[in-house]
Chain A
């Protein structure tokens, strides 16, 4: 196998990795906010559920969660799983796992907001929804951006865990080629890819932080 063919195969894996990355963020970021609301709710039941959810998601390996989401429907409900479910399973498992981490980041940010901002908004007649989305949340984003960057970078690398349910993304491809061709090149190429990907992610997040540095 020529290097060119290897690279072509790795490239299609890369696209899958990027796909996992984007869809996971797309679902886990809003879901995390909902869970954070649950976690901060005055309702004891909601709060309890959110707490247990976060505890389980953070307390068990992501790889195990992938297996449960993928094989669960069959073992628990005896539903035959088609191979197309594999892609969904990956996104579901990643999204619900990362949502738990994001929820705690959101909560930290929201709880760090001074009470005065809520009070000023209330006296000015803003509704609760307006207060949150116009006044509180934009400031929360600024505060949590460094922690979110951390999580997002971890996610780039975690996408490789999809190999545990034989979902063919970049890492799975690299491993397979390396084994069949008895070559280090695919693994080195994979390493470079993850590094460059994260380098770009970090640079973009830094740019965003800079954009928000116009206020304190």
Chain B
């Protein structure tokens, strides 16, 4: 069974059609990268998957349970306890981190597991400290987000997402707000997670990173999936649009 299954997703903002009948499925343990030019709908797809946007039409399933089902041309969403349960399956790392500035690093990570998932505080604290150690931020537990570099903030936000024990983690351009040096820190963390078989969907502009870390890559353009294949095949693609896009990064066939 697919961990995530989206099919025939359609989304428009006013007259602007952003997603034209897109389908995406992700198996457990898989790492999928989505690349494509700005405005191609990558982020919107991720925001639909994480319920930050509502699809106009299409289905959305997590582990076979429907978050939304298409009924006579419109997505009908689950609600109440059913939707809450589905919301616990995924986590999202934002481009701009979106840490809570008034909470310390430790509280940022602990607050939702304690007050949303109602887990034992001591147990959560142990896990949070372990996560911080994994992120190389053990000495920053009592700092506030404004005292950290962008890369450190993004690592805290990854720890915050992981503390909820999601089955799948989405990354929406996690390094786009960071300089190249800090970008490396984040990519290293994501690579580590991939080795641990964390299921991830990553929207990124870091082509070489995407190539290294992904089991599968998706190239999106103008609201459609142009190609969906292994990194090797994508970078060797004969598709005109794919080559044109990758050419801008000086990769792929000339």
Contact = CB atoms under 8 A, between A and B. Distances in A.
Interface in B75-100: 84, 87-88, 90-92, 94, 96, 98-100
Interface residues of A, number: 19
A41 interface: no
Interface string A24-39: 0000000000000000
A120 B170 CA distance: 13
A116 B94 contact: yes
Interface residues of B, number: 27
A122 B90 CA distance: 12
Interface in A64-87: none
Contacts of A138: 102
B102 A116 contact: no
A215 B94 contact: no
B235 interface: no
Interface in A135-183: 135, 138-139, 142
B100 A120 contact: yes
Contacts of B146: 215-216
A117 B98 contact: yes
Contacts of A123: 50, 52, 87, 90-92, 161
Contact of B116 (A117, A125, A214, A215): A125
A119 interface: yes
Interface string A200-216: 00000000000000111
B145 A124 contact: no
A58 interface: no
Contacts of A119: 52, 94, 98
B209 interface: no
A116 B193 CA distance: 24
A120 B102 CA distance: 14
B80 to A, nearest CB: 12
A139 B102 contact: yes
B227 interface: no
Contact of B144 (A116, A134, A214): A214
A125 B164 contact: yes
Given A123-B90, A138-B102, A139-B102, 8 more contacts: A116-B94, A117-B98, A119-B94, A119-B98, A120-B98, A123-B92, A139-B101, A216-B101
Which 10 A/B pairs are nearest by Cβ-Cβ distance?
A120-B98, A116-B98, A124-B112, A125-B116, A216-B146, A215-B101, A123-B92, A215-B144, A215-B102, A138-B102
Interface of A: 114, 116-117, 119-120, 122-126, 130, 134-135, 138-139, 142, 214-216
